[in-house]
């Protein structure tokens, strides 16, 4: 039974009887029930309407590669020669890494469902099917790894500014790869590099954005989380239009980064910095210590004041002390 086709039928938010769904899908009612349970287990809020049938708790829009490309601004179209939308992958970043040698720079892979989505330091990324945006980008650079310092921060700037343009309120960035709403995690960015150390090289940029996040998934997150619907006052943007807006902004940011590095984004990052001036608990180099955030430098390293000593952190786990 086609899981995506079933969800496409339920996507209008109306109540659909098990018998009608079975007839439409050409399967038994038991097969429909089994698939509904699988979607529920994956985090989709599907209610049983007192014997009347099944209903999603709110309509949703499925991603469509043709619709997404049609919504791209004309100037952004050439930057993305390859846009794919998959129903399910283990990980969009893993998919790009497997096919990197055969794909052009400017490849974007979306998945409605990931079985092994990952975040920073090997953490899992939780995302119910079709309720967020989970995608990865392949972009090639002429220079080596050192020139890509701060790339995740630059991508965060483009992501945060686009969300603000979509009427999302209280958006900020937490070094090195989180986008926050009201101090809670709204999106994450994971950059993985490949190629030659001295260049040329490529980046696979994975992005996960919570568009609508049901309460059971929030409870599993292990940290305070938010979704775009609440950031936008209750109604999230159309997912295809949002994806197109993000691709347009990210293409512009990647082109600028290739020319000028993170220094071109430093002032924009400072305007979004959620940590500046805050007291932090920092885990780095096998120790945990207190420090006060002092912004980031021109390479994107976090500057912290530990006692009278200023440190620059290229990699660390950071939490804000209450």
CATH number at residue 48: 1.10.10.10
Q: State whether 284 and 229 are in the same domain.
A: no
Q: State whether 125 and 260 are in the same domain.
A: yes
Q: State whether 199 and 309 are in the same domain.
A: no
d(C-alpha 28, C-alpha 136), whole Å: 37
Whether residue 265 is predicted with pLDDT greater than 60 in this model: the reply is yes
At 112 the pLDDT is 96
272: tokens are: 């979004």
Mean pLDDT, residues 25-36: 90
Q: State whether 94 and 124 are in the same domain.
A: yes
Using a pLDDT cut of 70, give the percent of the chain over it: 96
> Is 43 in contact with 129 (CB distance < 8 Å)?
yes
Whether residue 124 is predicted with pLDDT greater than 80 in this model: the reply is no
pLDDT band at 304 (very low <50, low <70, confident <90, very high): very high
Q: State whether 103 and 239 are in the same domain.
A: yes
At 264 the pLDDT is 97
Whether residue 108 is predicted with pLDDT greater than 90 in this model: the reply is yes
At 118 the pLDDT is 65
Q: State whether 150 and 191 are in the same domain.
A: yes
CATH number at residue 217: 3.30.930.10
Q: Look at residues 202, 306, 209 and name the one whose alpha carbon lies nearest to residue 249.
A: 209
Going from the C-alpha of 209 to that of each of 118, 190, 248, the distances in angstroms are 13, 12, 16
Q: How many structural domains comprise the chain?
A: 3
At 322 the pLDDT is 37
Q: State whether 125 and 165 are in the same domain.
A: yes
Mean pLDDT, residues 236-265: 96
Q: State whether 213 and 112 are in the same domain.
A: yes
CATH number at residue 306: 2.30.30
Q: State whether 116 and 37 are in the same domain.
A: no
Using a pLDDT cut of 90, give the percent of the chain over it: 67
Q: State whether 91 and 216 are in the same domain.
A: yes
Whether residue 161 is predicted with pLDDT greater than 70 in this model: the reply is yes
At 319 the pLDDT is 72
Lowest mean pLDDT of 86-90, 123-127, 159-163, 304-308, name the range: 123-127
Whether residue 321 is predicted with pLDDT greater than 60 in this model: the reply is no
Mean pLDDT, residues 167-195: 95
Question: Of 56, 84, 101, which marks where a domain is finished?
Answer: 56
Q: At what angle do helices 3-10 and 29-41 cross, to 10 degrees?
A: 80
User: pTM of the predicted model, to two decimals?
Assistant: 0.92
Lowest mean pLDDT of 122-126, 155-159, 264-268, name the range: 122-126
228: tokens are: 């775009």
Domain that includes residue 285, residue range: 279-320
* Residue-wise pLDDT tens digits, 236-250: 899 999 999 999 999
- Let me know the angle formed at the C-alpha of 247 by 242 and 250, rounded to the nearest 5 degrees: 120
At 123 the pLDDT is 63
Rg (the chain; Cα; Å): 21
Q: State whether 28 and 72 are in the same domain.
A: no
Whether residue 78 is predicted with pLDDT greater than 70 in this model: the reply is yes
Mean pLDDT, residues 148-160: 97
Mean pLDDT, residues 197-226: 91
Q: Look at residues 115, 132, 135 and name the one whose alpha carbon lies nearest to residue 44.
A: 132
At 159 the pLDDT is 98
Average pLDDT along the chain: 91
CB burial class (10 A; 0-12, 13-18, 19+) of residue 19? exposed
Q: State whether 13 and 128 are in the same domain.
A: no
> Is 197 in contact with 178 (CB distance < 8 Å)?
no
At 252 the pLDDT is 98
Whether residue 174 is predicted with pLDDT greater than 60 in this model: the reply is yes
> Is 109 in contact with 63 (CB distance < 8 Å)?
no
């Amino acid at each position: 039974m086609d899981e995506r086709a079933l969800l496409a039928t339920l996507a209008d938010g109306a109540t659909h009887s098990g018998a009608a769904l079975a007839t439409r899908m050409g399967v038994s009612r038991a097969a429909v029930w089994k698939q509904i349970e699988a979607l529920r287990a994956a985090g989709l809020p599907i209610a049983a309407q007192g014997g009347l049938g099944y209903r999603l708790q709110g309509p949703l829009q499925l991603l469509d590669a043709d619709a997404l490309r049609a919504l791209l601004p004309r100037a952004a179209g050439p930057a993305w020669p390859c846009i794919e939308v998959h129903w399910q992958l283990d990980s969009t970043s893993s998919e790009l890494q497997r096919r990197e040698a055969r794909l052009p720079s400017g490849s974007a892979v979306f998945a409605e469902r990931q079985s092994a989505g990952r975040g920073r330091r090997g953490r899992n990324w939780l995302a119910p099917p079709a309720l967020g945006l989970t995608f990865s980008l392949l972009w090639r650079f002429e220079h080596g790894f050192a020139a890509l310092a701060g790339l995740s921060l630059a991508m965060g700037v483009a992501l945060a500014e686009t969300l603000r343009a979509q009427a999302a309120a209280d958006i900020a960035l937490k070094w090195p790869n989180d986008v926050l709403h009201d101090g809670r995690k709204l999106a994450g960015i994971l950059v993985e590099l490949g190629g030659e150390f001295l260049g040329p090289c490529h980046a696979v940029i994975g992005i996960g954005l919570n568009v609508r996040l049901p309460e059971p998934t929030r409870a599993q997150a292990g940290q305070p989380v938010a979704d775009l619907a609440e950031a936008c006052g209750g109604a999230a943007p159309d997912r295809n239009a949002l994806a197109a807006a993000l691709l347009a902004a990210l293409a512009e940011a990647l082109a600028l980064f290739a020319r000028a590095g993170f220094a071109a984004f430093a002032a924009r990052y400072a305007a979004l910095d959620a940590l500046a001036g805050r007291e932090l608990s920092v885990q780095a180099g096998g120790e945990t210590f207190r420090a006060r955030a002092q912004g980031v430098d021109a390479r994107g390293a976090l500057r912290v004041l530990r006692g009278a000593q200023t440190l620059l952190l290229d990699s660390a786990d950071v939490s804000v002390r209450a």
